[in-house]
Chains A and B, each alone.
Chain A
Amino acid sequence: MTLLLQTLIFGVLTGGVYALMASGFTLIFGVMRVINLSHGALLILAAYLTWWVWDRTAIDPLLLGTGVSVVMYGVGWLLYKTVIARVQRIDPELTLVASFAFAIAAAGVIALVAGTEARAATPSYFNTSFHVGELVVPRAQLYACVGALAILGGLYALLHGTALGRGIRACATSRTGAELVGIDVERSMSQMFAIGCATTGFGGAALAVLYQFVPDSHYVWIGRILCVVVLGGLGSFAGAALGAAVLGIGEAMTAAYWDSRWITAVPYMLIIVILILRPQGILGARLRAGSGAP
């Protein structure tokens, strides 16, 4: 029983971080119908930035995450303007190919600049825990999860409480409709894409603290993100949160009850099983062009 409870705690804490990582991806899909396969590479880029500054200044890496978010906002905006918006005009089908190509090239650049050794940011509280009875709550995991949930809350407030957020949600419902009521669609799109990418800032910082990473890790992370959104139904925020919890718990369960070698296979197995048996995700929003909104 303690083992089960402990596993659930690990799973939920990890799930909180996954939810933030997937939120930007699902926002972009929900509004633009774009599968941004560079999301994993952006996370890894943010992780390297965090690690690099932490290594030189010893500033808390999770705090650095907020600053890195601003940088990732800029990276996202540039990516949108130089690649995504152009390919969308040429052939929307190819945006996912272009974003994947960008991810591969970006991983190459990171490897060239930072090398290919495994990195991890290890602040003082790394590997220490709170103890509640027999249960262990790792501090780094807890801080990362709380930070992720706070940023998710901020994102929700941004989308529902500001004019920019209303514009973005209007575009998600109907692009032409948004144009008709005087929303600058192009601007809303670039802002939204940049905001979606900015979520990888704190996500990457959390990644740097909680996991070891190399440039090629972006495949694993885009796999996890895809799993989260497939579980929850693409484009759905609430679904992403639920999917993140399911994946986090699933991975923790696999480690506790089966074999930790199979942890990395869990997201892919979930993806394939869900897409074959229940393509609409757990919550039931259909995975097809032209439906669903964040």
Chain B
Amino acid sequence: MSPRRRRTLTLLPLAAGVAVLVAIPPLSTNIYLQNVAIMTFVLAILASGWNIIGGYTGYVSLGHSAFIGVGAYTAGILAERWGVSPFLVAPLGGITAMFVAFVLGLATRRTRGAAFVIVTFAMLELLGLVADNWTSLTGGSNGLVMPLPTWPVEYQNWPFYYSLLGLLLLSIGMSAWIKRSKLGLGLMAIRDDEDKAAGIGVTTPLYKSIAFMASAVLVGVAGAVYGYYVSFLDTSAMFDIALAIQVVLAALLGGRGTVWGPVLGAFLLQPLIELTNSSLGGQDAGAIRLILFGGLLLAVTLLLPRGLLGELERAVRRLRDVPVPSPTGARLEAAAVPVSLRGARPVADATAPPLLVVRGLSKQFGGVAALEDVTFSVPAGSITALIGPNGSGKTTAFNLIDGSYTPSSGAIELGGELITDRSRTRRAFAGIGRTYQLPRLFDSLSVLENVAAVTGELQVRGLGRSAVSGATATQSAELLDFVGLGDYVAARATDLSYGQRKLVELAQVLMLDPALILLDEPVAGINPTLVERLGDLIRSLNAAGKTFLIVEHDMQFVLSLCDPVVVLSRGTVIADGGPAAVSSDPAVLEAYLGEDFHAEVSPIGAMP
């Protein structure tokens, strides 16, 4: 199926659906039907907004209905004070909701999902209490009466209906746009592996803050319209925990992280809610509703955790996917270094100042000193090795250099600039790229997206651009070609083998175009032909100006490729120098290589 045809096929039912929804009011004067539709739109707008933070970003909000209340009270109070229509001030409701989201989003700067759930729940409860107790502003438990509609009575509720329908289409449009944008790719990277995302240049606090604000803004506007529609604001209905649960339920039921899932969920759920509202009566109605919706949410998490559209997407992908033969070892011819990487930095020069300087670096974990007063430097244009027995502190050193850990003491300089206090992401911008011993990829993204998610210096304007297109897409594909995975751009990261994942991670690092590349055990667990190929890659990148710092146990690989070699043992540097000198150093032989080690400095994977 051509993309164009597929597009028409998705747009056709969409256009038909919108046409039906637009046509309902003129064709029917049924107030009940209008009410069900209006409530459905409100829930769908809420669920669609929730999905931006809860679905794309993976931060579950348990208090999203608070933005309905924030929008409704903002518009209600302003309309009363200024004597204008609530419709006129509805956008201000959206802006207030966005502001509240910004302030609460500050709680996610340095923390993860758990804190966010707690803070959103607290927000909902606190705002409800404030609205209850601050009677001079909100009318407290007496409520706030909204002005009467000014349009002719035969228009019934159409103005509410159409404005909420418009807001819903806007919400879906925004959600779809975010999903395809650079911002959305960053959000999904955060969901899959937040630390890793920070390491490839995603400014995580900013992305999360924008996502939370985007998830709140249209809900706030919808809240203003909704408040006008119900004509009377009372705190328990406006800051309603039951509604907050229904939002989560709708999004999960339809499929979180998909554009249409939350909307579908709302359209399925709201009629059920209306049905229970009208058919359940008596004093037990509330209890039965709790059991019903609590039970339904429980059932969805247990039985349908991906949601309806999530399951559908998976089934379709299974049908469509044609298995590709494994390429590891199949494609090994040396490719030329992509133009984008060539000559980025000056080639090795013994007189130039070192690119990376580590001075007096120490790191304690509780009472254990993982590193103690470590000092070494990486000359610009070199391939430097960092070796030593297991537990000697090599990976800790990497984590300190790339900013995953903060050192207990000591300094790190890159290109003469002190970077010790910089965040992980800012170090990525400054020119440090890093791979992991066990490769870390974004498992829900494709191979191409994994590379395209890498982002350089932050430009807020660029966040709206389509994520995988133009120069980014070309360069990502080029780099994947370079590492030998050109045939796998469309594969999911989860479907790759261990060796392939290592190569994708290398492409990610190259996409960052760093001055210094840290490789953590690049050839561990890889077959010999691939080791050779990797040696070639590193050599040609080095010739093009890249500096490397490599942690590796394969001594033949290290000694043939690296100069200088830094040896760590028990958290301190015991040797530092050329490969020949280091491999015959008695201290190194005793601590690491063993007495019977014979250096074989023969070039492997040499350039043709």
Chain A residues proximal to chain B, CB less than 8 Å: 29, 33, 35, 37, 83, 86-87, 90-91, 93-94, 96-98, 100-109, 111-112, 115-116, 215, 219, 222-223, 226-227, 230, 234, 261-262, 264-265, 267-269, 271-272, 275-276, 279, 287-289
Task: Provide the B59-89 mask, 1 if CB < 8 A to any CB of A, else 0.
Answer: 0101000000000000000000000000000
A219 to B133 alpha-carbon distance, docked (Å)? 18
Asked, given contacts A35-B114, A275-B107, whether A105 binds B290 with beta carbons under 8 Å apart, the answer is yes
What are 21 A-B pairs at a CB distance below 8 A? Answer: A35-B117, A37-B62, A87-B305, A93-B58, A93-B113, A94-B252, A96-B60, A97-B301, A101-B297, A102-B294, A105-B298, A107-B294, A108-B294, A111-B290, A115-B283, A223-B122, A226-B121, A265-B129, A265-B133, A267-B122, A289-B114
Asked, given contacts A104-B297, A111-B286, whether A271 binds B114 with beta carbons under 8 Å apart, the answer is no
A219 to B130 alpha-carbon distance, docked (Å)? 16
Nearest-Cβ distance from residue B601 to partner chain A, whole angstroms: 38
Nearest-Cβ distance from residue A96 to partner chain B, whole angstroms: 6
Contact: B111 with A287, CB < 8 Å? yes
Q: How large is the interface on B (under 10, 10 to 19, 20 to 34, 35 or more residues)?
A: 35 or more
Contact: B107 with A276, CB < 8 Å? yes
Contact: A272 with B112, CB < 8 Å? no
Q: Does B490 contact A (CB under 8 A)?
A: no
Contact: A116 with B298, CB < 8 Å? no
Chain B residues proximal to chain A, CB less than 8 Å: 58, 60, 62, 103-104, 106-107, 109-115, 117-119, 121-123, 125-126, 129-130, 133, 241, 245, 248, 252, 283-284, 286-295, 297-298, 301-302, 305
Contact: B111 with A105, CB < 8 Å? no
A91 to B191 alpha-carbon distance, docked (Å)? 13
A86: which B residues are within 8 A, CB to CB? 302
Contact: A271 with B295, CB < 8 Å? no
Contact: B125 with A105, CB < 8 Å? no
A287: which B residues are within 8 A, CB to CB? 111-112, 114-115
Contact: A104 with B118, CB < 8 Å? no
Contact: A271 with B294, CB < 8 Å? no
A115 to B286 alpha-carbon distance, docked (Å)? 11
A102 to B109 alpha-carbon distance, docked (Å)? 30
Q: What 8 A-B pairs have minimum CB-CB distances, sorted nearest first?
A: A108-B290, A105-B294, A104-B294, A101-B297, A108-B291, A268-B126, A111-B287, A275-B107
Query: Which residue of the partner chain B has the closest CB to A107?
Result: B290
A269 to B119 alpha-carbon distance, docked (Å)? 10
A-B CB pair tally, cutoff 8 Å:
145
Contact: A271 with B290, CB < 8 Å? no
Nearest-Cβ distance from residue A95 to partner chain B, whole angstroms: 8
A106 to B60 alpha-carbon distance, docked (Å)? 22
A265 to B103 alpha-carbon distance, docked (Å)? 18
Contact: A94 with B126, CB < 8 Å? no
A39 to B116 alpha-carbon distance, docked (Å)? 18
A112 to B316 alpha-carbon distance, docked (Å)? 43
Query: Which residue of the partner chain B has the closest CB to A259?
Result: B133
Contact: B305 with A91, CB < 8 Å? yes
Partner of B107, one of A91, A264, A279: A279
A275 to B122 alpha-carbon distance, docked (Å)? 11
Contact: B107 with A234, CB < 8 Å? no
Partner of A275, one of B111, B248, B291, B293: B111
Contact: B291 with A109, CB < 8 Å? yes
A107: which B residues are within 8 A, CB to CB? 290, 294
A96 to B298 alpha-carbon distance, docked (Å)? 11
Contact: B106 with A276, CB < 8 Å? yes
A226: which B residues are within 8 A, CB to CB? 118, 121-122
Nearest-Cβ distance from residue B409 to partner chain A, whole angstroms: 18
Partner of B291, one of A105, A267, A268: A105
A272: which B residues are within 8 A, CB to CB? 104, 107, 119, 122-123, 126
Partner of A104, one of B107, B288, B293: B293
New contact pairs (6) apart from A101-B297, A105-B290, A223-B122, CB-CB < 8 Å: A87-B305, A111-B287, A226-B118, A271-B118, A272-B104, A276-B107
A96 to B297 alpha-carbon distance, docked (Å)? 12
B114: which A residues are within 8 A, CB to CB? 29, 33, 35, 96, 234, 287-289
B283: which A residues are within 8 A, CB to CB? 115-116
A264: which B residues are within 8 A, CB to CB? 129
Partner of B60, one of A93, A115, A215: A93
A102 to B252 alpha-carbon distance, docked (Å)? 16
B301: which A residues are within 8 A, CB to CB? 87, 90-91, 94, 97-98, 101
Contact: B115 with A275, CB < 8 Å? yes
A215 to B292 alpha-carbon distance, docked (Å)? 16
A264 to B125 alpha-carbon distance, docked (Å)? 9
A154 to B252 alpha-carbon distance, docked (Å)? 41
Nearest-Cβ distance from residue B94 to partner chain A, whole angstroms: 22
Contact: A268 with B125, CB < 8 Å? yes
B112: which A residues are within 8 A, CB to CB? 287-289
Contact: A219 with B119, CB < 8 Å? no
A111 to B122 alpha-carbon distance, docked (Å)? 24
Contact: B248 with A268, CB < 8 Å? no
